[in-house]
Amino acid sequence: MTPEPKSSFVLSRRHLLGIEGLSYPEITGLLDLADEYVALNRQVEKKRTVLRGRTQVNLFFEASTRTQSSFEIAGKRLGADVMNMSVGSSSIKKGETLIDTAVTLNAMHPDILVVRHGDSGAVALLARKVDCSVINAGDGAHEHPTQALLDALTIRRNKGAIDGLTVAICGDILHSRVARSNIILLNTLGARVRVVAPSTLLPAGIERFGVEVYRDMREGLRDADIVMMLRLQRERMHGSFVPSVREYFHYYGLDQAKLRFAKRDALVMHPGPMNRGVEIDSSVADGAQSLINEQVEMGVAVRMAALEALARHLPNA
C-alpha cells in the first residue's frame, strides 16, 4: 500500500491564482506537503487515489511543454482523469475564446482547471466564469504561483531554510511572471531579494517591491546564496530592449566568472527553458552548483501538493 502524506494541509480557498494574498502558513503548508510528495515520487509505486473520480483539465492558451507535462503527471499520479487542451490564439480573438472556452468546459463539470494564458489577469477572469477550482499556470507578466513554490521548495531542501538567504533574480524582470511570484513569496519567507537587470528590463516602481535593484551583475551577485536566472524571449534580444545577444551575455549572462562573485556555495536556478549562451553559459547550467534539473523534479511534487490541497477543499471531498 502506498503511504499517505502525514500533512493534512487544506488550502481553504477555491483557486490558486497567485502568490499575492497567500499567507505564510499557506505557503509553508504547501511546501511541507510537497516535501512529502518528493519522497513518494521517488518510489516505484507513485499512484495515489486522492483525486480519483476527479477531472482535471489543463487548458493552455500559450504553448508550454514542461509546465503542462508537469501538471499532467501530477494529476495522473493523484488518480485524476487528466485532459490536455491547447488552444491556439491565432484565428479568433483571444478573449472571446477565453470566456467561451471557460463556459463550455464548465458545462462538462471538471473539478480542477489548470490554466495558462498570455494576458495578465486572464486566469482570474476565467475563474469567475466557472464552478470548479482553478490553478494559475502562468498569466501574462502577472503570476506563476506553482513556479515560485517549486523554486522555494528547491531552495529550502538545499539550504535548510529560506529566511535570511540572499536571492538574486537576474534578467528580464519586466516581462517575467516568475520574477513577480518569486519576489512576493521569497519576501514572505524572509529572504533578501535582489533583482539584477538592465534598466530597460526593469518594471516601473520595482524599487517598491521590497527588492534591492542592481544594474551591475557582479555587484548584484556579491555574496548571494541563490542566483535565479530568467529567460530572455528571443523577440526582445535584438535592439528592442537590449542591443544584441552578445552584449546581453557580456553584461548579464551567467558565466563562471560572474558566478564567482556569489558565495562559494551559491546555487544556480533557472525556470526553463534555457537559452544557453544568452542568459546562461552551459558550463554553469550543467555545473555542480546548478539546481535546474532538481527544479523540474520539485515541480511535479509542488503541483501534486497544490492539486491535493485544493481538492481537499472541493465540494464532496
Distances (CA, A) of 302 to 51, 76, 161, 192: 15, 14, 17, 23
Whether the CB-CB separation of 98 and 121 falls below 8 Å is answered with: no
User: Any binding-site annotation on 67?
Assistant: yes
We find the least distance from the C-beta atom of residue 120 to another protein, in angstroms, to be: 4
CB nearer another protein, residue 233 or residue 293: 233
User: Any binding-site annotation on 315?
Assistant: no
We find the least distance from the C-beta atom of residue 143 to another protein, in angstroms, to be: 7
User: Any binding-site annotation on 66?
Assistant: yes
Q: CA 100, CA 126: separation in Å to the nearest integer?
A: 10
We find the least distance from the C-beta atom of residue 209 to another protein, in angstroms, to be: 8
Residue type, 317: A
CB nearer another protein, residue 56 or residue 182: 182
CB nearer another protein, residue 118 or residue 272: 118
We find the least distance from the C-beta atom of residue 95 to another protein, in angstroms, to be: 3
For 152, how many CA atoms within 13 A lie in the half-sphere containing its CB?
34
CB nearer another protein, residue 73 or residue 99: 99
Binding site for another protein (CB under 8 A): 20, 93-96, 98-99, 117, 119-122, 124-125, 139-143, 177, 180, 203-206, 208-209
CB atoms within 10 A of CB 120: 14
Q: Which of 185, 67, 203 is nearest to 135 (CA)?
A: 67
Bind-site residues for L-aspartate: 94, 177, 231
Bind-site residues for carbamoyl phosphate: 66-67, 116, 144, 147, 272-273
